[in-house]
Amino acid sequence: MTRVLMLFIAVLASTGSGALAAPACTQERLPVEGAPVTFGYCIAGPLHSTGSEELLVPVTETYAAPGGTLSRTSELHFIAGEGVSRVIESLDLTKLGLAGTLHLTLAYSRGLVRLEGALLTPGAITIK
């Protein structure tokens, strides 16, 4: 019996985190000023409520372009109980080696944060 238990523990340890699920992530690549920019969003922890109608979603955001990369963790405030809830964020592109600011519409639905829209300023250029 002890040998079977030890074998079970060894197999469980060799599979990494065992029953833990992979983080819920989305990734998309879009052209910005002629350069490919990758946008990634991963849920970074448990969701929680403020006791009001807000749902706080911890997210690791990653952005990559030929001129640089940026990774940041934030807590996005979505409306709880909606099929799809949206927030607006701004991204200064200088850290990616590009000029301007992207105004991003992020949508939360079914456990994922997705890039829904992107507007480049100055110039109000629709990227997505």
Give 58-114 pLDDT, tens digit per residue.
999 999 999 999 999 999 999 998 899 999 999 999 999 999 999 999 999 999 999
Q: Is 20 helix (H, G, I), strand (E, B) or coil?
A: coil
**Could you tell me the pLDDT band of residue 6, with boundaries at 50, 70 and 90?**
very low
Q: Please report whether residue 34 resides in a domain.
A: yes
Q: Please report whether residue 60 resides in a domain.
A: yes
> Residue 20 above 60 pLDDT?
no
| Domain extent for 121 | 22-126
Number of residues written out for the chain: 128
Query: Quick one: pLDDT at residue 19?
Result: 47
Q: Please report whether residue 13 resides in a domain.
A: no
Query: Quick one: pLDDT at residue 44?
Result: 95
- Measured CA to CA, the distance from residue 114 to residue 108 in angstroms comes to 6
Q: Please report whether residue 38 resides in a domain.
A: yes
Q: Please report whether residue 7 resides in a domain.
A: no
Domain count along the chain = 1
Torsion over CA: 6, 11, 14, 15 (sign): negative
Query: Quick one: pLDDT at residue 21?
Result: 60
Q: Which residues contact 38 (CB under 8 A, 6 or more apart)?
A: 27, 28, 29, 62, 63, 64, 65
Q: Please report whether residue 30 resides in a domain.
A: yes
Query: Quick one: pLDDT at residue 39?
Result: 98
pTM: 0.80
Query: Quick one: pLDDT at residue 107?
Result: 97
Query: Quick one: pLDDT at residue 30?
Result: 97
Q: Which of 44, 116, 51 is nearest to 75 (CA)?
A: 44
Q: Please report whether residue 52 resides in a domain.
A: yes
Q: Please report whether residue 64 resides in a domain.
A: yes
Q: Which residues contact 47 (CB under 8 A, 6 or more apart)?
A: 55, 56, 57, 58
pLDDT tens digit sequence for 21-45:
667 999 999 999 999 999 999 999 9
Query: Quick one: pLDDT at residue 12?
Result: 38
